[in-house]
């Protein structure tokens, strides 16, 4: 039987590449020793039919193309250095629409203080935007360098974009998070400077990212009450016949950071965050629900080769 890429998924494909490229030191980004520091590099490809909601403007497409890459730099606590843009568009795309995409890219580069330093253009049957972000740091944050009893924290609310993808509104907080996400680059640098022990960005859902962070012999216990899910969020999800906790844990696209930090270093933080749990020795990823019951969280999130929003 022929094994297809959809059978193993994107993350396994990436693991395959890295295992055969011995020069790659990878985490959220590739890490390359350079001139006494570490060059942090990452790239993400966005395809209109898969990664952009139908009601997203061309400007916001361009902005998001930068955001998804800068978010990886944020997860490493890296200072932005430069952004490369490769874009393929249909030959009948109106020039004004193309200009709006580029306007979004340039606006995002200004917002994140990351200069556009090059790229390429080509023709395709639909809009494809591939960005490469470069950053620099002496000591990057990694995904799995935490210790027992470290606290698990997130930089803000999760699940908002997931709910926004299911709404037809245009100006509510959920739809705005889906259409206009922002990377937490300032927060990433702050948590690194405060002494965080590990971090990653929540692009594929909190559950999926916790499993990405997990190492043998360690586990995570998070608490539903600590996630800060609002009554309005629960009510809105219920009206759409959606499970609010499933949205919050398994969808992603909020581009918040999840990180671990010792109790001692927590006081060094100069940003707002939510403590949602701690590192355990259970070897499981678990959640304590509001009713006090504990259940293991399923390892499931957004998957490029298995469909998505």
When pLDDT is averaged across residues 271-279 and rounded to a whole number, the result is 97
**Cβ burial, residue 17 (10 Å; 0-12/13-18/19+):** exposed
Sign of CA dihedral 177, 277, 304, 111: positive
Contact 226, 290 (CB under 8 A): no
When pLDDT is averaged across residues 174-186 and rounded to a whole number, the result is 95
Helix (H) or strand (E) holding 300, with range, is none
Q: Tokens for 56? A: 């997203």
pLDDT at 4: 75
Tokens 């494909």 label which residue?
A: 13
Distance from C-alpha of 161 to C-alpha of 178, rounded to nearest angstrom: 4
Residue 261's DSSP bridge partners are 151
Q: Within a 10 A sphere around the Cβ of 121, how many other Cβ atoms?
A: 10
Domain 8-137: homologous superfamily in CATH: PurM-like, N-terminal domain (3.30.1330.10)
The structural domains of the chain, with segments of one domain joined by +, span: 8-137, 151-302
Domains 8-137 and 151-302 share a fold: no
Distance from C-alpha of 32 to C-alpha of 26, rounded to nearest angstrom: 9
Give tens-digit pLDDT for 197-254.
Answer: 999 999 989 999 999 999 999 999 999 999 999 999 999 999 999 999 999 999 889 9
CB hemisphere CA count around 179 (13 angstroms): 19
Confidence of residue 9 (pLDDT cuts 50, 70, 90): low
- Going by C-alpha positions, the residue among 6, 2, 49, 3 that lies closest to residue 306 is 6
Q: Does the structure show a pLDDT above 50 at 183?
A: yes
**Length of the chain, please?**
309
Does the pTM surpass 0.85? The reply is yes
List Cα–Cα distances, 92 to 95, 114, 125, 193, 202, in angstroms.
9, 31, 10, 48, 35
Q: Does the structure show a pLDDT above 50 at 30?
A: yes
Distance from C-alpha of 164 to C-alpha of 169, rounded to nearest angstrom: 8
Q: Does the structure show a pLDDT above 70 at 174?
A: yes
Confidence of residue 22 (pLDDT cuts 50, 70, 90): low
Q: Tokens for 290? A: 């509001």
- Going by C-alpha positions, the residue among 76, 305, 36 that lies closest to residue 185 is 76
Distance from C-alpha of 135 to C-alpha of 186, rounded to nearest angstrom: 13
CA end-to-end span of the chain, whole Å? 29
pLDDT at 8: 64
Of the candidate CATH numbers 3.90.650.10, 2.40.160.40, 3.50.50.60, 3.90.1150.10, the domain formed by 151-302 belongs to 3.90.650.10
> For the residues of 150-188, what is the DSSP string, one character each?
PEEEESS--SHHHHHTT---SSSHHHHHHHS----HHHH
């Amino acid at each position: 039987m022929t094994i297809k890429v959809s059978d193993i998924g994107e993350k396994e494909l990436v693991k395959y590449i890295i295992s055969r490229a011995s020069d790659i030191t990878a985490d959220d980004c590739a890490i390359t020793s350079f001139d006494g520091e570490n060059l942090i590099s990452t790239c993400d490809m966005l395809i209109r039919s898969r990664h952009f909601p139908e009601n997203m403007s061309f400007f916001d497409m361009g902005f998001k193309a930068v955001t998804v890459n800068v978010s990886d730099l944020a997860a490493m606590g890296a200072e932005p250095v430069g952004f490369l843009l490769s874009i393929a568009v249909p030959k009948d795309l109106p020039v004004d629409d193309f200009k709006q995409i580029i306007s979004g890219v340039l606006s995002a580069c200004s917002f994140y203080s990351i200069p556009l330093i090059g790229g390429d253009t080509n023709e395709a049957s639909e809009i494809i935007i591939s960005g490469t972000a470069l950053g620099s740091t002496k000591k990057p944050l990694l995904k799995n360098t935490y210790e027992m009893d470290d606290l698990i924290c997130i930089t803000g609310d999760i699940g908002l974009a997931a709910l926004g993808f299911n709404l037809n509104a245009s100006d509510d907080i959920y739809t705005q998070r889906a259409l206009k996400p922002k990377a937490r680059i300032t927060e990433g640098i702050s948590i690194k400077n405060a002494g965080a022990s590990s971090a990653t960005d929540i692009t594929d859902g909190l559950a999926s990212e916790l499993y990405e962070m997990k190492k043998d012999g360690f586990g995570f216990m998070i608490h539903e009450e600590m996630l800060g899910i609002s009554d309005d969020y629960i009510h809105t999800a219920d009206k759409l016949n959606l499970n609010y906790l499933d949205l919050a844990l398994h969808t992603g696209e909020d581009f918040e950071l999840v990180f671990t930090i010792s109790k001692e270093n927590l006081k060094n933080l100069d940003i707002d965050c939510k403590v949602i749990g701690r590192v355990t020795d259970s070897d499981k990823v678990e959640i304590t629900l509001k009713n006090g019951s504990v259940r293991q969280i399923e390892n499931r999130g957004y998957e490029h080769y298995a469909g998505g929003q």
